[in-house]
Structure 1
Amino acid sequence: MRSASIALIGAAAIAISAPMTAAAQDIAAPEYPETYQQDLVEEIFGQQIADPYRWLEDDVRNNPEVANWVEAQNTVTDAYLEQLPARAWFAERIGELYNYERFSTPVEKGGRYFYTRNTGLQNQSPLYYREGLDGEQKLLLDPNAWADDGATALGGWVPSPDGTKLLYSVQDGGTDWRIIRVMDIDTGEQIGDEIRWAKFTGLSWVGEDGFLYSRFPEPEEGEDFQALNYNQALFYHKLGTPQSDDVQVYATPDEPEAGHSAGVTSDGRWAVIYSSKGTDSRYEIHLVDLDARDTRGWEVMPLVEGFDHAWGVIDSIGDKLWVSTNKDAPLYRVMTVDLSGDEPVWAEIVPEQEQTLAGASMIGDRLVLSYLQDASSVARVFTFEGNERAPIELAGLGTVGGFRGDPGKSETFYSFSSYNRPTTIYRMDMATGETSIFAAPDLQFDPDDFAVEQRFYNSKDGTRVPMFIVRRKDVAESGAAAPTLLYGYGGFDISLTPGFSPSRMAWVEAGGAYVVANIRGGGEYGKAWHDGGRLDNKQNVFDDFIAAGEFLIAEGITPQDGLAIQGGSNGGLLVGAVANQRPDLFAAGNAAVGVMDMLRFDRFTAGRYWVDDYGYPSKEDDFAVLRAYSPYHNIAANTAYPALLVTTADTDDRVVPGHSFKYTAALQAANLGPRPQLIRIETRAGHGSGKPTDKAIEEAADVLGFLAYWTKLSPE
């Protein structure tokens, strides 16, 4: 458990009456810590906007009063969670389900194969390599030795082209900041180079003696986890030199909101610089001809100007680049651009298809294109000229990933997973079509005991929306309604595709249903699906999710009082918004690391990027939309609410924890009935990535134990 060492600083009990089940009476309603309310009201576009908990936006490291509030809240929450009858069962079973061998897709460089491997319950996944495919496995990096609490993680990693050096990043305590280092693979020694203040960066070798990375200016002291991120620039670092000597390759000081990252094509010919201003897939692309660097230096030439469309360079052969884009193709197409003449010459290779293009690779003499068919993967093969060949047969309804490789080399690796199938890694020879298993886990369950079903339902405006339903086969075949965990996201062009989760499998094993709704705002059906759930269309996201819950109950999949909801980040916003709009529909909810104050989200760290999906609080029309659904500003006082467990972490510098702090304080002050509104605040953790396994298991057990209690799910 997290630290909870100080006494409560006051209490205010909730008093509104509402019917309670007999089971719910077993645990006493918590008494919340008293939270100070500022007399702070601002007039914004003619509206009086109260913000009594703004002081909770302060970094917990810098404000002792915020630190005391965190301690007091965790004390109350821990005491409540310890009483949950199913919590111990979930902790044990989730731990058992996590305990299987997990591999990443291998990367081959210089005849060496690099991959991560976790034996099961290791907090972080070590990095290994083999000399040749069948060579002896050798440990290269073990991040479990980097911190006593297991909270320092290996971020990105890239072997050098000849496989003799490793470029990698370190993530400490869940922060988005990265420390970049280099090691000699043969000796296992650090080369000594170290880069600070890198964030949202790629890692790309330029030859064997240097690399490209992106960084921000060093923030003011004490502002590491809250200051807005502006003026990102792309740098080149030569091995053996100090960071102060790094060469700035590309920056836009006149456009400080633009961010820049880079990749290098597999032949080492082109450095591809991507620039963007927000979260939308709208990029400018510049190139550096690395073959001409000795004579031209870091001469940057534009390829695509104007932040209008999505562009992604797949790879190159000589003067020709293969590119994916949604320009004149909302579901994406593949083009080539020939740079051998005075002007670029563009040509379409694979036209837009009926499915959304989700990934593209060049391997051997083939293009491998992965598409989304109703949010599930399809892998199709084309020649470099665009002629289709036989597709790659996948193992069913699921998600494919990987397909790393190079033109001229026919070997590739890919992964496949589904809700009832953990990731299996496959090796494929594109020349022969031969496929073999590189790594498959030994499981703690039989996948065939579980049913994965896709259904479609109609939203409020008649839009047809898909959902995945996962249940034990005996539960599905019985026709009985089961306590249901409904998950959603609905934003930023992000698609929710099938994948394995030990915690969600534990919920299903316990007799519950797990449902993922592919609501608008995501990328499942391309640009139109994304546009249909953002800016002034954001209410469609909430309507889609509410309609999913109503459908599950109407179809008898879920009992009337057995629906729990969950979402993280933008999905945490989703949970907060629909709990305000339809508190009667849900028994319980988990809003994780959510964006809860829609009037101030753009004032912290990466929040300014999100205006692409949310709009600008400083613009009157956008403000009106945001004010209408902002979770913090729309809590319906004196109304019976579902049981809510808000989860966040003290080092979340993506969605700063002040969002969750303020939202929880407002919930607890609003007299929302007998069901609790609690917050669980993790220490030495961030937005999610890099979280150690033991913390992930503990948090999942707490959350599922809470949701199970209020939906009356009892593990069998």
Structure 2
Amino acid sequence: MRADQEARLDSESFTQTLHGHRVVDPYQGLEQDESPETKRWLADRDAELRAAATQWPLRADLADDIRGLVSGVLWSVPQTRGTAVFATRRDAGDEHPRLVVVEGDHERVLFDPLAVDPSGATTLDAWEPSPDGALVAVQTSSGGTERGALEVLSATDGNPVERPVPGVRYSHVAWLPAEHGPAFYFARRDDGDGRRGVWLHRIGAARGTDTLVHACTGPRTVPGVRLRRGRWLLISESHGTGHRSDLWIADLSGEDPGAPALRPVHVGLEAESEADVGPDGLLYLRTTHGAPLRRVCVTTPERPDTGNWREVVPEDPEATLDGFAVTGRPGSVEVLVTRTRLGISELASHDPERGTERAVELPGEGMVAELAADSRGGAHFCYADVSSQLSVWVYRSGEPPIRWPADLASAPDRTPVRRSVLWCSSADGTRVPVSVFSLDGASAGPTILHGYGGFGRPRQFGFSATVLAWLRAGGRYAVAHVRGGGDRGRAWHLAGAGRNKARAVMDLVAAADTLVARGMCDRDQLCLSGGSAGGLLVLAATARRPDLCAAVIASAPLADMVRFERLGLGAMWIREFGTAADPEDFAALLDYSPYHRVLRGGPTRYPAVLLTGFGGDTRTGAAHPRKMCAALLAAATGPRPILLRYEHGVGHGPRSVTRAIELAADAHAFAAAETGLSPARRRRARPHNER
């Protein structure tokens, strides 16, 4: 037992009986962010971390390598308005992307987060130009809270044209055409004052006069809004995280935009759909209705109900359909779709009339994201792979995609990375795939095993400077496609969600055991890694099998699953995890909850654990890693360290480049020190032109 637990309060004062179970919570006091006890406890953890970091020999090398790997120019997908092109750009040395306007050969900065806040704590979360390109709506937040304001800037000089709209979190913004404006729809998602829904905002109108056009039907739904072809208003509500949404459409032509006549596409259906209106005036839907891995259907906006849908892109039984864009011209419509097959993206073009499909060649084996139709009848998309930073590509029908902007047309040199897939058998016999990455010729040795397994999200293999630096240092990186994620569709998600979450944990355990059994690493060379819901996964596996590995990295994790609904956005995630108010849900939550398993387990020889927490984290909540660290410190025996890396002024999402590099270098230097990846093993692979 360890004696430095001054935050351990009277355990009886935090004991409750739930559904006949006595639940002890001795570190509930650490949920208080600003209490003197919490601050003193965090100061002690920081001192422990700084002392431990002096023993991480690869820390400086990893930081330098990561910094070099992210030094390229990064663009976002552009949006064209008239003759102007809007996009974000981040150059080598920049802490944040800045919003720029490109007109011909001239480029100017419209919004730079560092100019607004030199501390680097402010991030540009979203932006959307008006149809005529005269105005741009930008969303910013500070300190990592992701709760910010929506501000309208002049595209001429970047100055604000009115006071910001408060209470906005990653809202969709849908500008109305000029005859209705200047005005836009936006969504309020979690401002906590009962105003969740879709609103109409008119530029220059008196403060507080926004019009509610659609109120959310429940307290845990997430509203969304889009406007297509300047006419069709699409409003959606996502119900928690259970692959269920409701969808409405309204025709604004000749109508009052403040009172749109919303027509249901589907409401109350156990399906999730995303809609778009094509150049042919038809309504296209990417949907799980009748297809757990998703398909694309088409109907008319005037009769959008499911009885009138016609399938144009069928479901692939082995790959999830993750994105789509309807391109072309009236009479020659093309449906582009992206699929993910065990982390690798595919891009294909469909002719909805002929029913034919044609594969579109990609730069390599990687990830396609942000596929979107453009104003010229084609599309843009982003591409990245394990050894290539995110880049923007332009697609024109029948032609190979090309890089954008044109001055980035040459492909960078790549570190050669080998990918393989092995299969393991989980406790119930389910076969679970594991993707394994290494440099050519890598031998058995230090390995990071990553897992997520939540919210039905498929794992996509894009660029990670952290992963590539680990590989270049001589390590191996593996990803377990556990149930609870979306790697194999909706059924795969639901098989590891709610009361079935323990299956995801056992899938990860099986993956770790298989890596060892196949001789890819020893137990003392294995580190589990996961963030957010993945942090929950790796901590639950560790609490169940303390002998499983040498080290664990859990970044911004969930940990106390009895009280998760009270912390961060936990109340929104009942469809994913269940609720402690239900006796059967509670029994499942208590069984795998890492915090409670450690409390019940008594003194145990745990692996080395590095938890990360962020003071501005409004998603999972910063209390989870604090409480988990306290429980582990009290229970852990043996020489392995239990560490908490806690940052103030940042949150769950984006941060400055420097802070991101520091976090990544610390985490992977910890993994290197605990798994034996030493400078002597380092086999840095250089691009061919450096040899």
Aligned residues: 666
- Structure 1: where are the runs of 5+ without partners? 1-11, 15-31, 220-228
The CA deviation at 1:521 is: 0.9
Q: 1:55 to 1:240 in 2, by over 3 A?
A: same
Q: 1:675 to 1:263 in 2, by over 3 A?
A: same
- 2:206 is equivalent to residue 239 of structure 1: no
Matched with 2:394 is 427
The CA deviation at 1:386 is: 5.9
Q: Which one of the candidate residues 185, 200, 205 is aligned to 1:212?
A: 185
- 2:233 is equivalent to residue 276 of structure 1: no
- 2:421 is equivalent to residue 454 of structure 1: yes
Matched with 1:148 is 118
Which deviates the most, 150-159 or 210-219? 210-219
- 2:549 is equivalent to residue 586 of structure 1: yes
Matched with 2:537 is 574
Matched with 1:657 is 622
In structure 1, distance between residues paired with 2:16 and 2:674: 38
Q: 1:453 to 1:579 in 2, by over 3 A?
A: same
The CA deviation at 1:112 is: 2.1
In structure 2, distance between residues paired with 1:634 and 1:522: 23
Q: Deviations over 1:405-429 (max 9, x none)?
A: 15x7323222221112222322221
In structure 1, distance between residues paired with 2:538 and 2:409: 35
In structure 2, distance between residues paired with 1:602 and 1:391: 44
- Structure 2: where are the runs of 5+ without partners? 683-691
Matched with 1:52 is 26
Matches within 5 A, 1:1-400: 13=2, 32=4, 34-38=6-10, 39=12, 40-60=14-34, 63-132=35-104, 135-208=105-178, 209-215=182-188, 232-252=196-216, 255-265=218-228, 267-294=229-256, 297-317=259-279, 320-340=282-302, 345-354=308-317, 355-364=319-328, 365-385=333-353, 387-400=355-368
* SS of structure 1 residue aligned to 2:38: helix
In structure 2, distance between residues paired with 1:295 and 1:211: 10
RMSD: 2.3
The CA deviation at 1:313 is: 0.3
- Are the aligned partners of 2:416 and 2:440 in contact in 1 as well (CA < 8 Å)? yes
Q: 1:626 to 1:143 in 2, by over 3 A?
A: same
Q: 1:304 to 1:449 in 2, by over 3 A?
A: closer
In structure 1, distance between residues paired with 2:230 and 2:94: 36
* SS of structure 2 residue aligned to 1:73: helix
Q: 1:582 to 1:230 in 2, by over 3 A?
A: farther
Q: 1:444 to 1:426 in 2, by over 3 A?
A: closer
In structure 2, distance between residues paired with 1:278 and 1:549: 31
Q: Deviations over 1:579-606 (max 9, x none)?
A: 1111112100111111111011112342
* SS of structure 2 residue aligned to 1:156: strand
Amino acid at match of 1:660: P
* SS of structure 2 residue aligned to 1:540: helix
Matched with 2:688 is none
In structure 2, distance between residues paired with 1:335 and 1:705: 48
- 2:475 is equivalent to residue 512 of structure 1: yes
Amino acid at match of 1:395: P
* SS of structure 2 residue aligned to 1:245: coil
Matched with 1:534 is 497
Amino acid at match of 1:212: Y
In structure 1, distance between residues paired with 2:511 and 2:430: 12
Q: 1:632 to 1:55 in 2, by over 3 A?
A: same
Amino acid at match of 2:399: G
Q: 1:421 to 1:255 in 2, by over 3 A?
A: closer
In structure 2, distance between residues paired with 1:582 and 1:676: 17
Amino acid at match of 1:421: S
- Are the aligned partners of 1:269 and 1:318 in contact in 2 as well (CA < 8 Å)? no
The CA deviation at 1:164 is: 2.1
Matched with 1:9 is none
In structure 1, distance between residues paired with 2:162 and 2:447: 52
Q: 1:396 to 1:512 in 2, by over 3 A?
A: same
The CA deviation at 1:216 is: 5.4
Amino acid at match of 2:186: Y
- Are the aligned partners of 1:405 and 1:411 in contact in 2 as well (CA < 8 Å)? yes
The CA deviation at 1:345 is: 3.3
The CA deviation at 1:194 is: 1.0
- Are the aligned partners of 1:95 and 1:121 in contact in 2 as well (CA < 8 Å)? no
The CA deviation at 1:536 is: 2.0
Q: 1:340 to 1:318 in 2, by over 3 A?
A: farther
Which deviates the most, 191-200 or 485-494? 191-200
* SS of structure 1 residue aligned to 2:198: strand
Q: Deviations over 1:559-593 (max 9, x none)?
A: 23100011000001011101111111210011111
In structure 2, distance between residues paired with 1:97 and 1:172: 27
Amino acid at match of 1:116: T
Matched with 1:673 is 638
In structure 2, distance between residues paired with 1:117 and 1:342: 39
Percent identity, please: 31
* SS of structure 1 residue aligned to 2:377: strand
- Are the aligned partners of 2:342 and 2:459 in contact in 1 as well (CA < 8 Å)? no
- 2:657 is equivalent to residue 683 of structure 1: no
* SS of structure 2 residue aligned to 1:66: helix
Q: 1:463 to 1:348 in 2, by over 3 A?
A: same
Higher relative contact order (CA 8 A, sep 6+): 1
Q: 1:279 to 1:386 in 2, by over 3 A?
A: farther
Q: 1:660 to 1:259 in 2, by over 3 A?
A: same
The CA deviation at 1:610 is: 1.0
Q: 1:339 to 1:418 in 2, by over 3 A?
A: closer
In structure 2, distance between residues paired with 1:276 and 1:579: 33
The CA deviation at 1:436 is: 1.9
In structure 1, distance between residues paired with 2:408 and 2:439: 21
The CA deviation at 1:290 is: 1.6
In structure 2, distance between residues paired with 1:179 and 1:648: 24
In structure 1, distance between residues paired with 2:170 and 2:603: 43
* SS of structure 2 residue aligned to 1:451: strand
- Are the aligned partners of 2:362 and 2:401 in contact in 1 as well (CA < 8 Å)? no
Amino acid at match of 1:428: Y
* SS of structure 1 residue aligned to 2:378: strand
Matched with 1:225 is none
- Are the aligned partners of 2:7 and 2:38 in contact in 1 as well (CA < 8 Å)? no
The CA deviation at 1:77 is: 1.6
* SS of structure 2 residue aligned to 1:359: strand
The CA deviation at 1:464 is: 2.3
- Are the aligned partners of 1:520 and 1:533 in contact in 2 as well (CA < 8 Å)? yes
